[in-house]
Structure 1
Amino acid sequence: MLRDDFEDYARGIGIVLVVYGHVLRGLMSAGIVHADQWIAQTDYAIYTFHMPLFFVLSGLHVERSLKRGRIGFLARKVETVVYPYLLWSVLQGLVQWAAAGDTNHPFTLAQLMSILWDPFGQFWFLYALFLCQVFVCVTGTARVVLVPFAIVAYVIGSVLDYGIFTTALKFFLFFAAGILLAGQFRDWVARVSAFGWIVLVAVMLWFAIGFARDLGDYNGIGALPATTLGVLLVCQLALRLSESVRFAALKLLGVASMPIYLGHILGASGARIVLMHLHVENLYAHLAAGMAAGIAFPLALYFFSARVRFEKRLGFPAVGPDVFGMRRSAGALN
């Protein structure tokens, strides 16, 4: 299955939500946003679905990737998932350690030594994603095995807490959903992407989030309806927005979602620290600056590293012919 622009639009929406969520949580930890403010309530809402969205999207191309064999599949994932995880965990960890006096959560070198079994910050996703990729090498993609394994894994991940391993078991359900929907995902979303359907799904999501909130955990079993509806809503919007060139920036954010995911904390935290040193306390100034820096910093790093063909060394995807307007020979893209 070929890469679909609509998937990049969905990733673009998703990565904006990731940056927003982390900026908001940083402001809450810094005491700039308080639990009784309306904006604090958006945290629970987006966390019900924005990370499951990325597991679904990651599962869409697994079958194609497995055609190179399980060893080749895992070798490729070590290059594109494990290497960025290790590199950026070290980079961000060292920055947080050096800036311990200005960060919300003091970081120690002992924490950095434990990244092989205990990911920190946003990097849990890459660790859990790689475990899901290992799981699918064991189960294969046959529905008769994949479906029961995903269900059992979700139940185990929901009732037990053994760190990142059980987290990966829980999120494997969404990864498996992407595998099962591959090849028909776009058509399925297209059937329910008329304006009326989008409004209906948004209203249902509103009530599903309220239902999940009453039960507690935004990643719990009670949040599954909200998760499903949230993922669907993002994909509906992505499909509609992909039809207009006015929203092409979202595609760029989707293509660059890995660099943004890896580097957004450094940019957003840096913006918050600067504003706090300038005694700026306005919530919306912090939110705008944090999101702008959280997106612009990794995008700029991606752009300049690509100019000197260094992007893969930084754990970023190789720049394609349509990213940043750069055009390279086919051989240079390998």
Structure 2
Amino acid sequence: MSEKTAVRTREKWVDDVKVIACILVVLGHFFQSMTKANILPENDLYKWFNTTIYYFHVSLFFICSGYLYQKYSKVNSVSSWCKNVAKKALALGVPYATFTTATWVLKKMFSSSVNDQIGGLGDTLLLHPTAPYWYLYALFFIFLVTPTFSSVKATAVGLVVAIVAKGLILTGGGYSVYAVSTVLSNEIWFVLGMSICAFNVQLKGRKVQGTICGLLFMILSIVVYTAEISGSAISFAMGLLACVAVILIVAGFEEKFGRGMDFLAKYTMSIFLMHTLFAAPLRSILMKVGIESAVIHVVLGLVISFAGPIIAAWIMKKTKWLEVFLYPNKFIRKVS
């Protein structure tokens, strides 16, 4: 068994953080597409929002993944590593290959109206993953090189290694191989998530600290944007502050989040994987039939970005065999 416990309970703060991160990912991609298609103006509000969310939204996903990995897995031997790699290859590889291919096909079909062109399918799948699926690609390679921590000392060593890896990127030591550079850049977020679990960090009861961090982040984000301050180190520091704020606020006000968050938490994966597959074709169809109203594009686009994946996931679940493309881990639990 690679699981530390036979029964895996839900981590509400993790679910809620993933919902927030997913919403920000959808909004980021949606408004990028709207401005690139000249449906919405590329004004300062958009630029600030887009810059700000990219400091931290995907980093939150890595932190949540690292936390769950450390809490529910035990990978500290060759055999457990092999089992974990096999499981993750299916759990991440199937949706990655499925939805990357679907995106590639759609971009080729709507090549005259999509904002970002795409290379060959093999190159996209193996070497240069496209958004948002690069997260699954990066996560798999992080699993390849990251064992679970068996002690506080091991956790400290893991943090040092992750910091050194991030330092290589921050000092301009980016590598030409994408798989290498993405691990070096994002390992720190994954290990921070693992460390929250390994150090048994108490997140609840820190509403005030979270709120202060959140307000400080918002103020600094405006200052950094208006002063045109940039750089990898600044982005990392801003991202770290934002992640601390979001996690502490969510954990602190956990009981305040209602059924809406619980509902969306069930569909985070499907929304993350399929929002562009619904929004982009809809935008192309509206433009082809001559509908250029920004209000119509925004309202219908946002609705389909969330409703489309949720309905698709519901249909896939009802047909059962289609769900393997979304949640292959449900069919491979015996591997663990």
State the distance in 2 between where 1:188 and 1:55 align.
19
Paired letter, 1:188: Q
State the distance in 1 between where 2:149 and 2:67 align.
16
The residue that corresponds to 1:130 in the other structure is 140
The residue that corresponds to 1:9 in the other structure is 16
SS at match of 1:115: helix
Closer, same or farther: CA 184–272 of 1 in aligned 2, 3 Å: farther
Q: Quick check: 1:65 aligned with 2:77?
A: no
The residue that corresponds to 1:85 in the other structure is 96
Is the 1:52–1:174 contact (alpha carbons within 8 Å) kept by the matching residues of 2?
yes
Q: Deviations over 1:266-317 (max 9, x none)?
A: 1111232233234343444333322221111111111111112125421336
TM-score w.r.t. length of structure 1: 0.84
Deviates more, 1:149-158 or 1:35-44: 35-44
Q: How far did 1:101 drift?
A: 2.1
Paired-residue identity, %: 20
Paired letter, 1:216: S
Question: Structure 1 residue aligned with 2:52, among 37, 45, 57?
Answer: 45
Question: Structure 2 residue aligned with 1:167, among 182, 193, 212?
Answer: 182
Closer, same or farther: CA 183–140 of 1 in aligned 2, 3 Å: closer
Question: Structure 2 residue aligned with 1:190, among 195, 204, 208?
Answer: 204
Q: Deviations over 1:129-177 (max 9, x none)?
A: 1111112049987224312210111112332142342122111100000
SS at match of 1:7: helix
Is the 2:162–2:188 contact (alpha carbons within 8 Å) kept by the matching residues of 1?
yes
State the distance in 1 between where 2:210 and 2:129 align.
36
The residue that corresponds to 1:227 in the other structure is 239
Is the 1:10–1:254 contact (alpha carbons within 8 Å) kept by the matching residues of 2?
no
Q: Quick check: 1:118 aligned with 2:123?
A: no
Paired letter, 1:27: M
SS at match of 1:122: coil
The residue that corresponds to 2:300 in the other structure is 289
Is the 1:153–1:172 contact (alpha carbons within 8 Å) kept by the matching residues of 2?
yes
The residue that corresponds to 2:196 in the other structure is 181
Paired letter, 2:157: V
State the distance in 1 between where 2:9 and 2:148 align.
25
Is the 1:151–1:173 contact (alpha carbons within 8 Å) kept by the matching residues of 2?
yes
Closer, same or farther: CA 297–44 of 1 in aligned 2, 3 Å: same
Paired letter, 2:190: F
Unaligned regions of 5+ residues in structure 2, if any? 1-7
Is the 2:94–2:328 contact (alpha carbons within 8 Å) kept by the matching residues of 1?
no
Is the 1:156–1:166 contact (alpha carbons within 8 Å) kept by the matching residues of 2?
no
Unaligned regions of 5+ residues in structure 1, if any? 320-330
Is the 1:140–1:146 contact (alpha carbons within 8 Å) kept by the matching residues of 2?
no
Is the 2:166–2:187 contact (alpha carbons within 8 Å) kept by the matching residues of 1?
yes
Q: Quick check: 1:145 aligned with 2:145?
A: no
Is the 2:211–2:245 contact (alpha carbons within 8 Å) kept by the matching residues of 1?
no
Paired letter, 1:155: G
Q: How far did 1:264 drift?
A: 0.8
State the distance in 1 between where 2:81 and 2:69 align.
11
Is the 1:23–1:291 contact (alpha carbons within 8 Å) kept by the matching residues of 2?
yes
State the distance in 2 between where 1:36 and 1:215 align.
18
State the distance in 1 between where 2:44 and 2:287 align.
20
Q: Which runs of 4+ in 1 moved over 6 A?
A: 138-141
State the distance in 1 between where 2:129 and 2:104 align.
11
State the distance in 2 between where 1:274 and 1:199 align.
42
**How many pairs are equivalent?**
316
